[in-house]
Amino acid sequence: MSTVGQTKRTTPAQIEAMKGTRPIVSLTAYTTPIARLLDPHCDLLLVGDSLGMVLYGMESTVGVTLEMMIAHGQGVMRGAKKACVIVDLPFGSYQESKEQAFRNAARILKETGCNGVKLEGGEEMAETVAFLTQRGVPVFGHIGLMPQLINTTGGYRSLGRSDKEADKIRRDAKAIADAGAFALVVEGTVEPLAREITQSIAIPTVGIGASAACDGQILVSDDMLGLFNDFKPRFVKHFAELAPTVSKAAEAYAAEVTARTFPGPEHTFQVKK
């Protein structure tokens, strides 16, 4: 098959090699159309289990299933041609054993064609990360605030303020880096600690609610686009305000339908005389 004119997709190895060169640009994507729009501008697209809250209205990510992640991973892969695409392993799909993690990670890779998987956890998941990477599964780590553990960690809050918390996050970062992850999300972690971790480990850190000194940044695309106005975490910046635009468009549509001005003649099919 000819590959002339095809765009080469960024690999996890290339993401890892970006440490110390320039910041890694990353966003979440859950659908084909959004993936197409984001792909030219991003090094990495994450099919995050945040889709449970963003698309399905769940209160947390805990209810997301493996089947949901695979379906959305397939959609994003249809739309992304350049960016490295990583799919989250959802809660309950990898914590039981390293063998369970491999089975489900292999299924995601096979059924979506994505470049790797992301999983949450520090020291306690290092053995699993090593097991996966030694068997050909690229792993994107995730430490600090871990949404899948929200039921046991006391809610969404910044971490690393106490010496005990900071020491645990430091150990987590080192353990996941040493286990072979190609990069590491650092979420909801106080700035000085995130900066310190970035300087201390060999793989790139990708911050969300962390530090500008991280090797890259990620945001939930719907937050970045301003599609939610009811809740805005401190670490989110709206680079657009699309919620009012969508609402006004729906209002205009409803008015024209009600007034029977839409559809007009140009929007209907007429019998030719």
- 174 known ligand binder: no
Residue type, 271: V
Residue 2, marked binder: no
Say which amino acid occupies 1: M
Residue pointed to by tokens 């006004």 = 248
Query: Backbone phi, then psi, for 188, in 5-degree steps?
Result: 55, 40
Contact of 27 with 99, CB cutoff 8 Å: no
Q: Read off the tokens for 44.
A: 């990495």
- Give kind and range of the element (H or E) at residue 194: helix 191-200
CA 253 to chain centre: 33
Q: Please, which residues bridge with residue 143 across strands?
A: 186
Answer yes or no: is 88 a known binding residue.
yes
Question: Alpha-carbon distance 177 to 208, whole Å?
Answer: 18
187 is catalytic: yes
**50 carries a ligand binding annotation:** yes
CA 228 – CA 243 distance, rounded (Å): 6
Task: Report the chain's C-alpha Rg in angstroms.
Answer: 21
The three-class DSSP label of residue 242 is helix
Best CA proximity match to 27, nearest among 41, 12, 15: 41
Which of 16, 187, 196, 266 is an active site residue?
187
| 273 is annotated as contributing to ligand binding | no
Extract the annotated binding site: 49-50, 88, 118, 120
Extract the annotated binding site for 3-methyl-2-oxobutanoate: 49-50, 88, 118
Looking at the annotation, which residues are catalytic? 187
Extract the annotated binding site for Mg(2+): 49, 88, 120
